[in-house]
Amino acid sequence: MAPPCGNGRRWSRAIKMTFYLFFLIPILSAGNRNANTIFGKKQKLEVQQHLKRLNKPALKSIKSPDGDIIDCIDINKQPAFDHPLLKNHTIQMRPSSYPKGFSFDEINDVSSNSEPEFAQPWHLNGRCPEGTIPIRRTKEEDLLRAGSVANFGRKKYHTIPNAQSSRPPHEHAILSENGVKFYGLTADMNLWNPYVQEANEFSLSQFWLVNGAYETDLDTIEAGATVNEKLYGDKNTRLFLYWTDDAYQSTGCYNLLCPGFVQVDKQIAMGATVTPYSKYNGNQYALKFYVSKDINGGGNWWMNINNRVFGYWPSSIFSILSNGAARVDWGGEVLNYNSGGQHTTTQMGSGHFADEGSGKASFFKNLQVIDALQILRGPRNATTFMTKPECYNIINYGGLFYFGGPGRNPKCP
């Protein structure tokens, strides 16, 4: 689906592209250096300047037991407002509309001071005060691991399920609901700590709201949990969100690592570790995600996490997603580099195939979409997609599916 070609949209895209060129070009000379490189004075200065752009002045900083530093940033000075289209943006604290069938009671019962229904290690050492949001501090070593500052915090191209041009390293096991237009979704996503063999691989469970195509234009809204050592420097499972307005080429990023997403919650830090994890044949834990386009409040895409109003993707940062999504996906993705000519043992989900079922395989449940009539309903035209079912698979039971796998095994050499 090609984007509309009005002058306003071309002007908006030009502003976005100009901003990203401004944001990235001054530091491209850092080049493709690895983490063992000793930067020269000029490159060192450029990296420090980029860190200054990323790390806003903190009103309070909290050292997490896992080594992270969480900075409490003035909510009105968060990175989102560096975006040229958000310079005069008036922050919203809550959406102004909800779809039919949505329960207000759960949201209204969660105050800004209540505890999230899951733990992040930094909570042990403090909390952010009112009027601030928690942001994981970016360190110099984070930039060094990226190899190129221009690529820091960004997915590589072709990470969307079902993409015809998807590169072989990206493997998926997902459920898709296609339709004319969607305005949101819900999902309870099982939380695990999958093993990831290589430092440059990742494993994630997430949802996608999608409109467009690689060949013309592609917008996505994404969120979930991931193990991504190259981005975060460890093998912990961490919360993430993502977005792109041009098929992952020059716009969008993880979390708040570029201007765009507006956070309003002071309890949850994107990019921070999240626990507890589910155990094989033991206790199961899930994160509840809810995303809804606020049709009466500027069309922003709001996200709730475990019934907390977390924040929103402003409609203005998108081209075709500003009009709604054409597809909703839920499931898993793994980046596999076939180390030594073999498929790696990087796991998806629990590391066990969908066939093992409850308590053993990873799941998504309570799946719903918000349709063009602003009604919450279950998937009606859902299809499954697997790149390598002998490595990772999925079984759909309608509103609930199991997915995952171990990677390398006798059928997946």
Give the active site residue among 140, 222, 229, 390.
222
The phi and psi torsions of 155 (rounded to 5 degrees) equal: -75, 155
CA angle 77, 81, 83 (to 5 degrees): 150
Burial grade of 36 (CB within 10 A; 0-12, 13-18, 19 or more): exposed
d(CA 16, CA 7): 14
Please give the C-alpha separations between residue 116 and each of 111, 189, 268, in angstroms, as whole numbers: 10, 16, 7
d(CA 169, CA 343): 10
Query: Regarding beta strands 238-244 and 262-263, do their DSSP bridges make them parallel or antiparallel, or are they unpaired?
Result: unpaired
Cis status, amide bond into 276, omega within 30 of 0: yes
Contacts of 261 (CB under 8 A, 6+ apart): 80, 241, 243, 255, 311, 312, 313
Task: Tell me the helices (H) and strands (E) count for the chain, helix number first.
Answer: 5, 17
Q: Give the start-end residues of each E strand in 159-273.
A: 170-190, 202-213, 217-228, 238-244, 262-263
d(CA 295, CA 92): 14
Give the active site residue among 46, 140, 333, 356.
333
Establish whether 222 is a catalytic residue: yes
Query: Regarding beta strands 217-228 and 58-63, do their DSSP bridges make them parallel or antiparallel, or are they unpaired?
Result: unpaired
d(CA 42, CA 40): 6
* Residue with token string 């004075």: 41
- Catalytic center residues: 222, 333
